[in-house]
Amino acid sequence: MEQVMRNAFLFLSKNKALTKMARKYGLRFGAGRFVAGERIDQAVQSIKELNEKELCVTIDYLGEFIDTEQEANEMADNSIEAIRAIGREKLDSQLSLKMTSMGLDISDEIVMNNMRRILTAAKENNVFVTIDMEDYSRCGKTIEIFKKLKEEFDNVGTVIQAYLYRTVTDIEDLNQYNPNLRLVKGAYKESPNVAFPEKKDVDDNFKKIIEMHLLNGNYTAVATHDDAMIEFTKELVKKHNIPNDQFEFQMLYGIRPERQLELVKEGYKMRVYVPYGTDWYGYFMRRLAERPANVAFVLKGMIKK
């Protein structure tokens, strides 16, 4: 049943008609639990509240189905606006973004121009930028863009997904760049030709790449809500005397907030992924797909309203 629900939400996440409807009707239907408003000022307020609790943040202006150069440039402008807000308000926040929102499906030139604009603004405001990973069809291209940008900028990182067969090779290949990587299990529905279909295999590969990247001496963001993975990381760094400033944990806004605070109290850096914007629908559906238990929270919120 859980797998059926997961597949249904992933299918719905790609529906353009529902995406447009969601933009029109705003953050209703419980999405406000996972999305920090539609405007940058609302997101800034959420970041301030998290920072006051000693939680770090990475902010993401949500965008799906970018079809024109103008839309891609506008998305980049919004990212730059967020960067400047972080600098102006002196927030403990980074920025995350997707290459499709920068024009990946249109042309390499548009993506690179937008990313150079963003990373230049980020450097001026001392903000680190993480390139989010998307589905398998865009994985290789995203990594190649990251490599090119890493040769020009030192304030950029990317994401590696444990459920893909290619992941270990990617970790080995990227090591020469001393990269700051966010390691995740993966949130898209992929073919068994390219991704592990069984959860146990994904978990085993996740542990493997966490260990590889940390022992390579690179900064590692372990992005998970899974207590088993959190404990594995704690034991690993203790065993190898890896300092706490070489890694951090990351979780999504609105999911397991109590656990986030516990990790802070234990002395670990804990970063919260905070999305905002009108284009929240696809992100929201993927969150429901990842953890069907979230559906119960959404239904409760709708009933209260």
Taking the chain (305 residues) in consecutive chunks of 10 residues, what is each chunk's mean pLDDT?
50 50 50 80 96 98 85 96 98 97 95 98 98 95 98 98 98 98 90 95 98 98 96 98 98 92 98 87 66 49 38
Instruction: Give the pLDDT confidence score for residue 305 in this predicted structure.
Output: 38
Instruction: Give the pLDDT confidence score for residue 287 in this predicted structure.
Output: 66
- Could you confirm whether 245 is annotated as catalytic? no
Instruction: Give the pLDDT confidence score for residue 239 in this predicted structure.
Output: 98
- Joined tokens for residue 228: 């088993």
- Residue of 6, 60, 132, 286 with catalytic role: 132
> What is the spatial distance between Cα 159 and Cα 223, in angstroms, rounded to a whole number?
10
Instruction: Give the pLDDT confidence score for residue 134 in this predicted structure.
Output: 92
Instruction: Give the pLDDT confidence score for residue 254 in this predicted structure.
Output: 87
Instruction: Give the pLDDT confidence score for residue 270 in this predicted structure.
Output: 98
- Could you confirm whether 182 is annotated as catalytic? yes
> What is the spatial distance between Cα 43 and Cα 250, in angstroms, rounded to a whole number?
18
Instruction: Give the pLDDT confidence score for residue 238 in this predicted structure.
Output: 98
Instruction: Give the pLDDT confidence score for residue 266 in this predicted structure.
Output: 98
β pairing state of 247-252 and 270-276: parallel
β pairing state of 129-132 and 247-252: unpaired
Instruction: Give the pLDDT confidence score for residue 279 in this predicted structure.
Output: 73
> What is the spatial distance between Cα 65 and Cα 294, in angstroms, rounded to a whole number?
25
Instruction: Give the pLDDT confidence score for residue 64 in this predicted structure.
Output: 64
- Residue of 182, 271, 286, 287 with catalytic role: 182
- At 140, the amino acid letter reads G
Instruction: Give the pLDDT confidence score for residue 294 in this predicted structure.
Output: 52
